[in-house]
Amino acid sequence: MFITTYYAFIFATIGFVVFFQVLFIRSRRYVQLVCSVIWLLPVTYEIWAIGRCRADCSARIDLILVFPAEVFVLTGASIYSWVLYKRYMGS
């Protein structure tokens, strides 16, 4: 179950990275590029954390502390980037 959720998170994140890269290519506004890079941060952190995690890593406190901050930052950055893109492209 954990592995399936983990890979689903990675693939969803890669989808958002590609989405904001396409927006950057279309608009040439660096807000979309920054948002794309921000979406890469949780994946790199999770890969780092899982690589360091052994069998005793069933409950990770960082998920309780870091995950809400990640959700808040990613949601805010994504909405801000999308609003600026829509305003810039005029549709």
For 84, other C-beta atoms within 10 Å of its C-beta total 16
3 band by pLDDT with thresholds 50, 70 and 90 = low
Query: Using one digit for the tens of pLDDT, what is the confidence trace for 10-20?
Result: 788 888 889 88
pTM more than 0.95: no
CA distances (Å), origin 43, targets 1, 27, 71, 79, 88? 18, 25, 13, 20, 29
